[in-house]
Amino acid sequence: MRSKNINVVLNLNSSGAPGKVDEAAMRSTLINLMLNSIHAMSQGGELKVSTTTGDQRLLVEIADTGCGMTEEQTKHMFEPFYTTKSQGLGLGLFFAATVIEQHSGTVEVRSTPRKGTQIAIKLPLERGRADGARG
């Protein structure tokens, strides 16, 4: 990220968040979302990752100052085989949305062309295991 002139800002909840997740799947999901942010900042920028808890939920926010997306792109971004990249299958974000759903979570996206994208993932706390998730 240094070579791309991307500054990373972490604001992580230091107390942790009790819950059960499929660690490998959730790690892949978060890495995929962050890599998309990095790819969107070809001219450099800022990647912010934050976590907070409240209302029996863990909130993970990933925000970038990249190229952003149109409303139409945002509407289709979690569909299988949808991509705006010249290379890629268009399955990464579909996989991410599926993993979040399997953990009884939700994902919200706000994006503005030429300004950036914010992704908010909400996951339940201490509710036990979601269908399809290993503890």
Greater model confidence, 91 or 60: 60
Whether 78 is covered by a domain: the verdict is yes
Give the length of the chain. Answer: 135
Share of the chain above pLDDT 70, in %: 92
Helix, strand, coil distribution of the chain in percent, nearest 5 = 25, 30, 45
pTM for this prediction: 0.84
Whether 131 is covered by a domain: the verdict is no
pLDDT of residue 76: 86
* pLDDT tens per residue, range 106-129: 999 999 999 999 999 999 987 543
Q: Residue 3, Cα to own-chain centre: how many angstroms?
A: 22
Whether 75 is covered by a domain: the verdict is yes
Segments forming the whole domain that contains residue 29: 6-124
Domain count, the chain: 1
What is the residue type of 24? A
pLDDT of residue 28: 95
Residue 133 has pLDDT above 90, yes or no: no
Residue 105 has pLDDT above 80, yes or no: yes
Residue 86 has pLDDT above 70, yes or no: no
Residue 131 has pLDDT above 70, yes or no: no
The CATH number linked to 53 is 3.30.565.10
Whether 133 is covered by a domain: the verdict is no
Residue 51 backbone phi and psi in degrees, to 5: -135, 140
Nearest to 135 by CA among 103, 101, 97: 103
Whether 30 is covered by a domain: the verdict is yes
pLDDT of residue 66: 95
Whether 135 is covered by a domain: the verdict is no
Residue 36 has pLDDT above 60, yes or no: yes
Whether 129 is covered by a domain: the verdict is no
Averaged pLDDT, 18-42:
91
